[in-house]
Amino acid sequence: MAKILVVEDNKDMQFLLSNILKSEGYETLVAGDGKKALKETKRWSPDLVLLDIRLPDMDGMAVLEEIKKLNDDLIIIMLTAYGDIKGAVQAMKLGAFEYITKPFDNDELLIAIKRALQTQYLSREVHSLRRRLGEKNASDLIVELTGEGQRMKQILKQIDIVSPTNMTVVLQGESGTGKELVAQLIHNKSQRSDKAFVAIDCGAIPESLVESELFGYEKGAFTGADALKEGKFEQANGGTLFLDEITNLPDSAQAKLLRILQEKKFQHLGGKRDIKVDVRIIAASNVDLPDALKAGAFRSDLFHRLNEFPVVLPALRERKTDIPFLASRFLEEAKKEFNKDIKGFSPEAMKTLLDYHWPGNVRELKNTVRRAALLTDSDKITGACLALDAITEPHSDADSLSENIDVMAELRRGVSLHEIAQKKMDNVEKDIIRQALALAGGNKSKAAKMLKTDRMTLYARLKKYGIE
């Protein structure tokens, strides 16, 4: 039966409550003051607390808050006299389940206790279900992170080791290698799996908005702040915050992040109140963080604070033995999606998959197989369906990436001089942006600095030219 801690200083009331609860089969323990109540909560781990609002050494509200700090899931029913009802309502706001007024009806008290314990039971069932669903989702995520090769098997072993801990993890690897999948898998296998997993791409947010997105803001903090807004840290409280492309964080946000990691608290923009958070950080970067340190693009103190458990994800071209397995699994998914009966890949198609350099890594492989499954009208995926033969090897930094414009053909079509010149200029600009991205290792913020432009202008150009 459930264990109930009775916190009451009146001896007669202690006796009465103990007899009522024991007659219903509950295991009961009595504490006559607040300090003993906190001590027994730690030692005895009750399922429910009956807490008098007036105690000799501590205010019942203070005891309530301290108990909630020890175990936020513990159910507390407040016991109050008629004159304390206003305070009891305040206690409800602080997390009390219900309040019972003195003198109380025995049946009323027992019904409230049963309802509270049933709520606790259902809550635990929900947590258990979420954990089981998390484990199921984890097995689905593993599909994209496994294969026949040893590299990924070693990484999955690392994930199993670090997931149950609260260590901060730094994931490094090219775009498309599965960094967010690994972050989600670590969360799903952790003790935080029933809490939120919040992901944010630090490279996709304008610098002026990064801090408000991460830390939130108070109403009136700046022009347009019409209401209080929670940041990503509050949304992830108790769970995991995944910071993708972390090298794109501006210096001010890096400094605040370091402070949060050290102190586990922060303030909204425009706020003065400290907000305590318990968040596990998983950071990711598609550029080498030590190189970013040397270039002065990332704080060394933040790097050393984050880098408790580094994981480097290999490019798909470095794990080609995994391609047949991954391609087959992606094909199974595509068959269900498009309701097609496809037997597999032709030998020619599989050779094409193995010979291709996969600059987009696993993400590109998945998209390629999905597209091929949609296009094929036979029971086999052929090389023609993959359409990878039209994609050339990546150019070196010295190569020209500009498309040729046939001026004579354009003139015959009646295209104006201005339009031809604009196409030429667009191709030159596209070429320069691609080479800047290559020199920056794919880091858009670094590329923008090289080009002496802001990130939003660069993003607009990337969208215009279809550059990934």
The CATH number given to 407-465 is: 1.10.10
Question: Over the stretch 106-152, which tens digit does the pLDDT of each residue have?
Answer: 988 998 898 888 777 766 655 555 554 444 455 555 655 666 667 88
How far apart CA 436 and CA 444 sit, in angstroms, is 9
Pick the CATH number of 3-122 from 3.40.50.2300, 1.10.8.290, 3.40.1160.10, 3.90.199.10: 3.40.50.2300
On the question of a cis peptide bond just before residue 46, with omega within 30 degrees of 0, the verdict is: no
Pairing outcome for strands 265-266 and 275-276? antiparallel
The closest alpha carbon to 226, from 234, 236, 218, 237, belongs to 218
DSSP assigned state of 258: H
Can you give the pTM of this predicted structure?
A: 0.57
* pLDDT the model gives residue 162: 94
Q: Which residues of the chain have pLDDT under 50?
A: 132-136, 390-403
Dist CA 378 CA 375 (whole Å):
9
Four-residue CA torsion sign, 382, 356, 148, 366: negative
What pLDDT shows up at residue 373?
92
Q: 159-313 has which CATH code? A: 3.40.50.300
pLDDT at 419: 65
Say which residue the tokens 């003065």 belong to: 272
> Where do the DSSP E strands lie in 229-288?
240-244, 265-266, 275-276, 280-285
* C-alpha to C-alpha distances, 68 to 75, 82, 97, 295, nearest whole angstrom: 9, 24, 12, 46
pLDDT reported for residue 127: 57
Dihedral in degrees, nearest 10, Cα atoms 447, 449, 451, 457: 80
Q: Does domain 317-386 have CATH number 1.10.8.60?
A: yes
Indicate if 159-313 has the same CATH topology as 3-122.
yes
User: What would the pLDDT profile of 24-79 be if each residue is shown by its tens digit?
Assistant: 999 999 999 999 999 999 989 899 999 998 899 998 889 999 998 888 888 999 99
CB 388 within 8 A of CB 381: no
Q: Which pLDDT does position 240 carry in this prediction?
A: 94
Domain boundaries, the chain: 3-122, 159-313, 317-386, 407-465
